[in-house]
Amino acid sequence: MKQTEGKIGIREYTAIIMLSVGTKLTDDTPTVLFNSAKNSAWISLILIALLSIVPIWFLVKVFSVHQDKNLHDLNVYLFGKVLGHIISVGMLAFGFSALVLDSAIYVDIISSMYFTKTPSIAIYVVLVIVCGYGAKRGLQHIGSTAWLTLFYLKITLLFALAFAFYKGNTKLIFPLWGPGYWEIVKTAGSKMSIFADFYYLGIIAPMIDSFKSFKKGAFVAFAVVVPEILLALMIYVMLFDFTSIEVISYPFHEMILYISIGFLTNVETFFLPFWLVAAFVRFAFYFYLVLILFGAIFKIKEYEYLVPVISILVIFLGVFPKSAAFTIPGLREWMLTILSPMFFLLPCFMWLIAKVRGDFKNETSAQKN
């Protein structure tokens, strides 16, 4: 796997983002927001989205004049060799942690709600092998799978949310401000990194067919996943009430187990296959980002040989915590809180340094290229 592999177009690129970020409404992300913002979690998400536009916009502006560089190259160029490498190593640590924690959560979902008699370690091994293989095949294969799956996943998701909305009670959304203004704002500020995936997109920026596709794809995907997650949060409250939501780890899966469509009682059987493929795409993409970043930092060109090592580490670290259903969500929430200020400030500093260096003087001609 070399960095000279073919580039992907806007369709595949946008599909990858929509699946990677959009599937967060199906894991424990809603519960993280409900824990502090209660029934006003959807308002916190609006604030998170508004705040997230700032670092995403600054990041895109910086890449508009450095279209031949990836995120690690930019860190070294803008912050200097030493500080740039430190920042990139920090990014690698957080990225690898996200891969471990998020995959552990998905394994817990699968083992506790669908395949209850299958050992968690067996599910974890299958998940990591499939995702590692996808990462080894490269970004084009991940993008193609994402694009082929996207339509069917979104259609089944739309039907599930629509029927849940029909069964829900809109009165449960009130009072709108839930625990109070301060808790809503605090939740938004401390959980901004829910959208940190958009920052990590800089790692694959040179692998997109054009800067226009990189920019348009990011904002189009953002404009789709935000209303999607927002609607899901509102429906979860309408269906379960926030008092129940606080003790439900995975509200989406409880929702599809709860609803029925006429004589069809096992609605989850229609959604599960597409959700599993979306999970494979998401973690194959995370796996790929870790490989690319690791190779860039340590100047390893043939880094496909790292796949077995990283796979073993992910499985070992993912199954290591005792009572993972209680330990992992707490670790993930802590990581989101730590990463949030970094996600907001780093792109701002990158833009400021680029501005001081005079990199934007030829911005118009760079964007045309």
Q: Which domains does the chain have, with CATH numbers?
A: 10-362 (1.20.1740.10)
Identify the CA nearest to 327 among candidates 338, 313, 317, 340.
317
pLDDT tens digits in sequence order for the chain, 369 residues long: 444 456 899 999 999 999 999 999 999 999 999 988 988 999 999 999 999 999 999 999 999 999 999 999 999 999 999 999 999 999 999 999 999 999 999 999 999 888 889 998 999 999 999 999 999 999 999 999 999 999 989 998 898 888 889 888 888 888 888 888 999 999 999 999 999 999 999 999 999 999 999 999 999 999 999 999 999 999 999 988 777 777 788 999 888 887 766 555 666 777 888 899 999 999 999 999 999 999 999 988 887 788 999 999 999 998 876 656 678 888 888 999 999 999 999 999 999 999 999 888 866 555 555
Q: What is the structure's pLDDT at 64? A: 93
* Residue 321, pLDDT score: 66
Q: Which long-range contacts (CB under 8 A, 24 or more apart) does 186-190 make?
A: 186/36, 187/33, 187/36, 187/37, 187/41, 187/44, 188/44, 188/45, 188/47, 188/48, 188/51, 189/51, 189/340, 190/336, 190/337, 190/340
Nearest to 29 by CA among 345, 353, 336: 336
pTM of the entire predicted model: 0.93
Helices (H), 114-138: 120-137
User: What per-residue confidence (pLDDT) applies to 325?
Assistant: 63
Residue-level pLDDT at 2: 45
Question: What are 91's two structure tokens?
Answer: 């990014």
pLDDT at res. 322: 61
Res 173: pLDDT: 87
- For residue 260, the model assigns a pLDDT of 65
The burial of 334, by beta-carbon neighbours within 10 Å (0-12 exposed, 13-18 middle, 19 or more buried), is given as exposed
The pLDDT of residue 366: 53
Rounded to whole angstroms, what are the CA distances from 6 to 121, 206, 249, 344? 35, 11, 40, 31
At 52 the pLDDT is 96
Contacts for 212 with CB less than 8 Å, ≥ 6 apart = 367
Question: Tell me, what's the pLDDT at 246?
Answer: 75
Other Cβ atoms closer than 10 A to 72: 23
**CA 48/CA 191 separation, integer angstroms:** 7
Distances (CA, A) of 214 to 33, 61, 106, 270, 346: 29, 11, 29, 33, 19
